[in-house]
Amino acid sequence: MTRLVLVLALVLVAAGSLPVSAQRANRPSAAALSTEAINLNSATATQLADLPGIGLKTAELIVQYRTKNGPFKKIEEVMNVRGVGEKSFLRIKDRLTVAAPKSEK
C-alpha cells in the first residue's frame, strides 16, 4: 500500500510540475494573434521577434541589415538576412510591409 501511495504521489507531482517555459511555449504571443502588418523599415527587433519563426537573434540581424543597406524596397528582401529562408518568409509574408519609415519632426 505504501508503495502505491508513493507511486501515485510521484505521478501527481510529475503531472503538475511542467516548467513555466513549456507552458508558455504552447500559447501564441499577442503578435502572433495580431493581423496588423509589421513595417520592415521601422519595426524594432522586439516587434520583429514576435513574428512566427523569427527569434530575437534573427530580428536583430534584420535591423542590422536595414541599418547597413538602407530601407527594404520589397518584403522579399528580408530573405537576404541570414536566418530568414524561403520557408520562414512564406510563414510571415502576409504580416510584412515595407512602407517608408516615418520621419521625425
Amino acid at residue number 27: R
CB 60 within 8 A of CB 66: no
Number of domains present in the structure of the chain: 1
- Report the phi/psi class of residue 65: left, alpha or beta, with left for phi > 0 and alpha for psi in -120 to 50: alpha
pTM above 0.75, yes or no: no
CATH number at residue 90: 1.10.150.320
Tell me if 8 is assigned to some domain: no
Range of 75's domain?
29-97
Is residue 37 in some structural domain? yes
- Asked if residue 81 is part of any domain, the answer here is yes
Q: Give dist(CA 42, CA 3) in Å, integer.
A: 61
**Is 79 among the domain residues?**
yes
pLDDT value of residue 62:
98
Query: Is residue 74 within 8 Å of 92, Cβ to Cβ?
Result: no
pLDDT by 10s per residue, the chain, length 105: 655 555 555 555 556 554 444 444 444 554 445 668 999 999 999 999 999 999 999 999 999 999 999 999 999 999 999 999 999 999 999 999 998 766 655
Within a domain: 5: no
